[in-house]
Amino acid sequence: MQTLSAKQLERKERKKQKLAALANLIKSNDKDRKEQIDEETMTRADKEIAAGQTNGTEEGDADGFTKVTHKKSKKKAQTNNDEEPAMKKSKQENGDSVNEEAEKVNLTEDQYKQLQKELRERKRALESVPYFRLRESGEKALLSYGDNERRPIFLTDIQHLVMSALLGKKSPCKPERWCFFDKPEKVSHTVVLCLDGLSLFHYLSNKDKFEKIDSIFETSLDVLMPPNTKEDGFLMAEELVQVPMTNVQAYNFVEKYGSLEAAIALNKDPTLVIKSIFPVENSEVDKEANDLHPDDKFPRTKLLLSALQMVEEGYPLPLRGELSKQFRTYVLTKKKYAPVTNRSPLFGVDCEMCHTTSGVNELTRISIVNEKYETVYESMVRPDNKIIDYLTQYSGITEEMMKSVTKQLNQVQKEVCEILPDDAILVGHSLNFDLNAMKMMHPYVIDTSICFNLTGGRAKSKLKKLALEFLKENIQEGMGGHDSTEDSISCLKLLKLKLANSLEFGDEHLLQKKRLQEIMMAASGEAVRNNMLAHASKRDKRTAIITSKPLPNIVKELLQKAEEAFPNESTKVVTVDEVNSNKDAVRKCREIQLENALTICNLRIAPEDLLSATFEDTVEKINKWVSKIWKSMAHKGLLVLLMGGAKDCSSGVAKICIKKNKAEVAAEHELSV
């Protein structure tokens, strides 16, 4: 047996002491954490009572995790005067005493090995836990914020979370805009329970009745839902399944469109949520009216920005909550909008601005051009505040030009409202800046800075560069600055050129995806499936849809296409169960959820179930349904509860929770700290 030298023995002894110090620190943290959790549990009821006495509904404070998260984000200033939590003190202030205690410990060889084993197991436990935490955009949607402070997320955000849970790192859609979702591949299975007909209003005004549900979920969020205009509901589940969530659907879409991103963009209605935000008439569109425009190779509506994109790009939207303060002085381009179609007219818009004493750039010129490149509106504008910099090298505006201008912004807004049809599609380059200068909001927009991409990355190309590259035209030449009419025409020309070619034309990001796809398909059709969707070989990705109402035809068509992609498959990847009642749907969900990677269970809450005479019984049933589904779920299962809004309230609720044991909850809490 090899004898260790004095230096090696000394080094090993130091390792033991460090390991003992780490073990003591972990024990100390675990003890402090247990005391903190016990204290929160004991005082939860008192806090809820106090909240109820202040304003009746202190939204979202029923679940402990939401309380902790909100405290860290919103009440940070209050904690500055309080004593720092013991967890942090043990690391900072008590570190020396822990080390002193560790130095006194004389570990035997067996104790040392056992301690090593325990710490390795703890590390493995941490690595195997799917971890969900809200980012700033997600935290702003917490129900613990007041109505005027919240900023809702979108149903698309929830889709991206579900996609990540289903496909892991292979998912084309990630929820990183609003949450941090680590190790999604460790999620055992996902259940999405949709409650169509139940809105945010129903939940907040009767929050005390949802106590059983609130005890399960860690996170409760305000979600803007599609308008619930159909008598039989089901819009929520319909929207959820219209993305390639299984390997069969994905393969089919990839083969057709070149990438999953393109498939998702083309197989969803970008105006679905827009209809909840803007006053869009709920009228049927004639089939002929929605036929392709004779000059277009693909639907122009597929280039419209979705509500989520508009928020991300800084477009003004008439949303309630925090954003409503920002855009409170803005006006709509129309009092009422018609549904947009593939024959809706295009209008190029460009504005020029000058810097004023207000500290921002204000509108001084606006140009609007129609599809024939005819100027339909042109006006100079006198800013409300004094101009201190004409920005002539960019705006083309001079002091001389502004001397005789008297027309003000409110007159321009009125005239723009009069000339635009109610289904107009506005086109511009970074059009968000123009609309903000106009202080106007519009539902249907196409942004050439987004649908053209020369780099394949996130960097946006200037209009001047795009015009030279694709139109072979030099614009914005000379020292006189930009010409808003010229820029409007260039935007329209670029867009019409794209519409005359293909969705990926001028978009290097999509072109790169398509080139890769073509190379893989040339090698082997099967190779596409194995490489592009490697998750299929690791885990069964079957999806089940359960509903107490018949499926809409659009969903049936989608599922049929998925089956046609692999007609020889022995096992159906997507199964559908249309049952007779909500109770049957819940029973079926409990029976089959462990057999599927994703189960979507859609329940219809009828208007008569929400009347005052029946509401309490309805909520009690919902509490039981959710509790039963939760108990039936496997370890590390993800449960998403969606209250999908009603006809009188398009705002809904999303509740999210991952099923974990106590040790994993402690580990996750350790990560969040």
The answer to whether the beta carbons of residues 289 and 343 sit under 8 Å apart is: yes
Name which residue leads in pLDDT, 170 or 632: 632
pLDDT score, position 627: 95
Q: Give the residue-averaged pLDDT of 471-491.
A: 87
What CATH class does 300-513 carry? alpha beta
The residue assigned the tokens 């635009």 is: 420
- DSSP state for residue 182 in the 8-state scheme: E
- As annotated, the residues of the chain forming the CATH 3.30.420.10 domain(s) are 300-513
Confidence (pLDDT) at 174: 85
State the pairing for strand pair 131-134/179-182: antiparallel
> What's the pLDDT score for residue 50?
47
Supply the pLDDT for residue 561. 56
- Compute how many other C-beta atoms are within 10 angstroms of the C-beta atom of residue 358: 12
Q: What is the mean pLDDT of residues 296-304?
A: 91
Mean pLDDT value of segment 622-637? 95
**Does position 114 have pLDDT exceeding 90, yes or no?**
no
Residue 468 has pLDDT above 50, yes or no: yes
DSSP state string for 396-464:
---HHHHTT----HHHHHHHHHHHS-TT-EEEESSHHHHHHHHTEE-S-EEEHHHH-BSSSSSPPPPHH
**pLDDT value, residue 136:** 92
Average pLDDT over residues 428-455: 94
Which of the residue ranges 125-134, 160-169, 303-312 would you say has the lowest mean pLDDT?
125-134
Higher pLDDT, 111 or 394: 394
Q: Where residue 86 falls among pLDDT bands split at 50, 70, 90?
A: very low
pLDDT in tens, 578-599: 899 999 999 999 999 998 888 9
Mean pLDDT of 550-572: 58
Label residue 533 by pLDDT band (50, 70, 90). very low
87 and 33 Cβ atoms separated by less than 8 Å: yes
Q: What is the mean pLDDT of residues 64-77?
A: 38
Query: Does the pLDDT at position 352 exceed 80?
Result: yes
Q: Is the per-residue pLDDT at 377 higher than 90? A: yes
In the chain, what percentage of residues exceed pLDDT 70? Answer: 67
| pLDDT given for residue 123 in this prediction | 66
What is the 3 state secondary structure string of 472-484?
Answer: CCCCCCCCCCCCH
Measure the CA–CA gap between 136 and 593, rounded to whole angstroms.
32
pLDDT at 71 over 90: no
DSSP 367: E
Burial 16-46 (b: 16+ CB within 10 A, else e): bbebbbebbbeebbeebbeeebeeeeeebee
CATH 3.40.720 for domain 147-242+529-669: yes
Q: Is 353 helix (H, G, I), strand (E, B) or coil?
A: strand
What's the first-to-final CA gap in the chain, in angstroms? 46
User: DSSP of 31-72, one letter per residue?
Assistant: HHHHHHHHHHHHHHHHHHHHHHHHHS--TTTTSHHHHHHHHH
pLDDT value at residue 268: 59
Contacts (Cβ under 8 Å, ≥6 apart) of 308: 154, 156, 157, 177, 273
Q: Which of 2-11, 272-281, 473-482 has the lowest mean pLDDT?
A: 2-11
pLDDT tens-digit series, residues 196-244: 888 899 999 998 999 899 999 989 999 988 776 555 544 566 666 655 4
10 Å CB burial of residue 647 (0-12, 13-18, 19+) is: middle
Tens-digit pLDDT profile for residues 307-323: 888 988 999 999 877 77
Q: Which residues, 6 or more positions from 95, have their beta carbon under 8 angstroms from its beta carbon?
A: 25
d(CA 651, CA 155): 10
Percent of the chain whose pLDDT exceeds 90: 41
The average confidence (pLDDT) of the chain is: 77
Q: Whole-model pTM?
A: 0.70
Q: Write out the residue limits of the CATH 3.40.720 domain(s) in the chain.
A: 147-242+529-669
Residue 224 near residue 277, CB atoms below 8 Å = yes
**Alpha-carbon distance 247 to 566, whole Å?**
10
Question: Does the pLDDT at position 566 exceed 80?
Answer: no
Mean pLDDT throughout 102-126?
67
Residue 347's H or E segment, with its range, is: strand 346-356
* Mean pLDDT of the region 454-480: 85
Question: 111 falls in which pLDDT band (50, 70, 90)?
Answer: confident
Q: In this model, does residue 253 exceed pLDDT 80?
A: no
Say what the pLDDT of residue 289 is.
Answer: 73
Q: What is the CA radius of gyration of the chain?
A: 29
Amino acid (one-letter) located at 648:
D
pLDDT at 666: 62
Q: What is the pLDDT of residues 539-557, one digit of tens each?
A: 446 788 888 877 666 566 6
Higher pLDDT, 249 or 600: 600
The CA-atom distances, in angstroms, between 135 and each of 26, 159, 245, 422, 509 are 27, 17, 24, 37, 26
What contacts 566, CB < 8 A, 6 or more positions away?
248, 251, 573
- Residue 9 confidence (pLDDT): 74
Q: At what angle do helices 553-565 and 247-257 cross, to 10 degrees?
A: 90
Of the pLDDT bands very low, low, confident and very high (cuts 50, 70, 90), residue 127 is low
Task: Report d(CA 420, CA 154) in Å as an integer.
Answer: 28
Distance (Å, rounded) from C-alpha 63 to C-alpha 214?
6
pLDDT at position 66, please? 36
Q: Give the residue-averaged pLDDT of 528-533.
A: 32
Q: 191 and 162 in contact (C-beta within 8 Å)? A: no
| Residues 52, 67: Cα–Cα separation, whole Å | 15
Find how far residue 175's CA is from the centre of its chain.
6
